[in-house]
Amino acid sequence: MSSQSITVDLGERSYPILVGKKLIKDLGRQVAHLYLGDKVATLAVAIVDDLYGRAVRESLAGSGIPSETILVPDREGAKTIRTYQHVMEQLLRMKVGRGTIVIALGGGCVGDLAGFVAATYMRGVRLVQIPTTLLAQVDSSIGGKAALNLPEAKNIVGAFHQPSLVLSDVSLLKTLPTREVRCGVAELIKYAAIMDLRLLEFLEKERVSILGLEEGAMVRAVSWATELKSGIVARDERDQSGLRALLNFGHTFGHAVEAAMKYHGLSHGEAIAVGMAGEIRLAEALGMVSKKDVERLEALIVSYGLPIRLKGVNHRDLIRFMGHDKKAEAGRLRFALPNGLGNGTIVSDPPKKTATDAMRGCL
Ligand code: GLY
C-alpha cells in the first residue's frame, strides 16, 4: 500500500496526517508549506537523534530550511517542568520568534513536551509531529493533547494544541524494540474493540506481519487507526461531549494499574492490555458483551504477547487509584466499554461491587 493522507477536519485548523514508508526524505518539502523564515527546532532524545536526526536536518536543509536539534531526556524525563524550561531557554538562545516551527521527533513523551512547548512559546507556534513509536503513530501524535507531569500527578499541566502536520513514517518503526511494538498494538486493539470489528479481524489475521513490522501491514494498521481517531477528534476536539472519552477503553483500570505499580515494571501499553481485560469483564457483568467476546478479546491480547493478568498488586490499591483517575468525575467512575465488540459506549458509575469484582478478576 502506498502512502495515505488523512485530514483531521477542524475547519481552518485542519491538518494532514501522512502515513507511509520513507516519508522523512520528503519532510523538507512538506514543511516548506508552513515555513515562515525562523529557524526550526527539532526536539528529540539522543538515541532517536542518532538514528534519524541527520535525515531530518538534511531533508529540511534540502528545502532551504535551517534547523537545530534540542536534545531532551527520554521517557517521562521529557515531561518535567525542568525540561520544559530548558527547551524554552534554548528557543530564546536560538533567537527564534513566532515564525518558528517545533518538530517532535520521537515517541509520546517527546510529542507531549513538544506540543506544550509549541502551545506556549510566545503564546503559540506551529508544531509538526514525527512519531517514531507505534503507540505515538496510532494515538498520541493525533489530536493535539499536550502535557507535562508534576511529581504529584501525570499530565496535569497541559493544553490542546493541534499540529500543522503529522508525518507517520512506518519505516521508522524498524528500530523499535518488540516490546514497544506490542504496546502500540494494545492501542490498536482498543480502537478495534470499541469502534471497528473489521479492524479486530485484521489484527487477528495479520499478527505475524504486524509483529514483523511488514511495511504494507503497518501502513494499513496505522492509517486505519488514524482515520478512526481523526474522526473522533474532529467531532469532539476538547474531550467534552463524551465521544473522545470512548478512546479510554482499558484506561480507567489501566491507569490505576500504572499508579499502583508506581509506573515501574509495566509499560503503558501493557497496563492498558490488563485494563482492557478487566474492563471487558466489567462489560460482560453489565450484560454488554458475551463470554465469547471476552474470550476473543483476551485471546487477541495474549496472541500479541501482552498481559491480561497482573501479579503482586493489592486490589485495594487499585480501587484507591481508580478513584484518583482524571476520568473519575466528581467522585463518579466513568468507563468506556464495548457494547458488543466493535462498538463502544460510556458507562458512568457502574455498581461499585461489579467494578471491583471485574478488577479483582485481573489479579
Ligand atoms: N488518548 C486519548 C485521546 O487522545 O483523547
CATH of the domain at 339: 1.20.1090.10
159 and 243, same structural domain?
A: no
168 and 26, same structural domain?
A: yes
What's the one-letter identity of residue 305?
G
The domain tally of the chain equals 2
Q: Is-contact 165 32, C-beta < 8 A?
A: no
The closest-lying atom of ligand 1 relative to the alpha carbon of residue 245 is 5
Q: Is-contact 136 107, C-beta < 8 A?
A: yes
Q: Is-contact 183 269, C-beta < 8 A?
A: yes
Four-point Cα dihedral 169, 172, 178, 184, nearest 10 = -30
So what's the pLDDT on residue 329? 55
Is the CB–ligand 1 distance for residue 143 below 6 Å?
Answer: yes
The full DSSP string for 216-282 is HHHHHHHHHHHHHHHHHHHH-TTS-SSSGGGGGTTHHHHHHHHHHTTT-SS-HHHHHHHHHHHHHHH
Range of the domain at 185: 178-360
Q: Is-contact 243 235, C-beta < 8 A?
A: yes
Pocket test for ligand 1, best of 17, 133, 137, 139 (most atoms within 8 A of CB): 139
Give the three cell numbers for residue 87: 527547551
144 and 11, same structural domain?
A: yes
Tell me how far the alpha carbon of residue 49 lies from the centroid of ligand 1, in angstroms.
Answer: 26
Candidates 109, 97, 134, 103; CA nearest to 28 is 103
So what's the pLDDT on residue 317? 83
Is the CB–ligand 1 distance for residue 336 below 6 Å?
Answer: no
244 and 138, same structural domain?
A: no
Candidates 154, 62, 162; CA nearest to 111 is 162
Q: How far is CA 248 from CA 200, 222, 335, 337, in A?
A: 17, 18, 7, 9
HEC-encoded secondary structure of 60-80? HHHCCCCEEEEECCCHHHHHC
Instruction: For residue 113, give the CATH number of its domain.
Output: 3.40.50.1970
123 and 106, same structural domain?
A: yes
The closest-lying atom of ligand 1 relative to the alpha carbon of residue 145 is 4
Strand 344-348 versus strand 334-338 pairing type: antiparallel
Collapsing DSSP to helix, strand or coil, 124 comes out as coil
163 and 182, same structural domain?
A: no
Pocket test for ligand 1, best of 248, 258, 276 (most atoms within 8 A of CB): 248
Is the CB–ligand 1 distance for residue 251 below 6 Å?
Answer: no
So what's the pLDDT on residue 361? 87
140 and 126, same structural domain?
A: yes
Q: Is-contact 134 222, C-beta < 8 A?
A: yes
So what's the pLDDT on residue 307? 96
pLDDT truncated to tens, each residue of the chain (363 aa)?
578 999 999 999 999 999 999 999 999 999 999 999 999 999 999 999 999 999 999 999 999 999 999 999 999 999 999 999 999 999 999 999 999 999 999 999 999 999 999 999 999 999 999 999 999 999 999 999 999 999 888 899 999 999 999 999 999 999 999 999 999 999 999 999 999 999 999 999 999 999 999 999 999 999 999 999 999 999 999 999 999 999 999 999 999 999 888 888 899 999 999 999 999 999 999 999 999 999 999 999 999 999 999 988 888 888 888 866 555 555 678 999 999 999 999 999 999 889 989 988 888
So what's the pLDDT on residue 328? 55
Single out the residue in 140, 174, 208 at which a domain terminates. 174
So what's the pLDDT on residue 339? 98
Is the CB–ligand 1 distance for residue 111 below 6 Å?
Answer: no
229 and 137, same structural domain?
A: no
So what's the pLDDT on residue 134? 98
169 and 71, same structural domain?
A: yes
Candidates 161, 182, 165, 160; CA nearest to 173 is 182
Residue nearest to atom 2 of ligand 1 (CA): 247
Pocket test for ligand 1, best of 17, 137, 140 (most atoms within 8 A of CB): 140
Single out the residue in 152, 174, 196 at which a domain terminates. 174
Instruction: State pLDDT tens for residues 266-325.
Output: 999 999 999 999 999 999 999 999 999 999 999 999 999 999 999 888 888 888 888 665
The closest-lying atom of ligand 1 relative to the alpha carbon of residue 233 is 5
- Residues belonging to the chain: 363
Distance CA 262, CA 185 (A): 23
154 and 211, same structural domain?
A: no
Collapsing DSSP to helix, strand or coil, 240 comes out as coil
Single out the residue in 145, 174, 203 at which a domain terminates. 174
93 and 242, same structural domain?
A: no
Q: How far is CA 263 from CA 247, 267, 277, 343, in A?
A: 21, 8, 19, 30
Tell me how far the alpha carbon of residue 64 lies from the centroid of ligand 1, in angstroms.
Answer: 35
Is the CB–ligand 1 distance for residue 247 below 6 Å?
Answer: yes
Is the CB–ligand 1 distance for residue 145 below 6 Å?
Answer: yes
pTM above 0.75, yes or no: yes
Tell me how far the alpha carbon of residue 343 lies from the centroid of ligand 1, in angstroms.
Answer: 17
So what's the pLDDT on residue 359? 87
140 and 184, same structural domain?
A: no
Q: Which residue has the cell 513514517?
A: 169
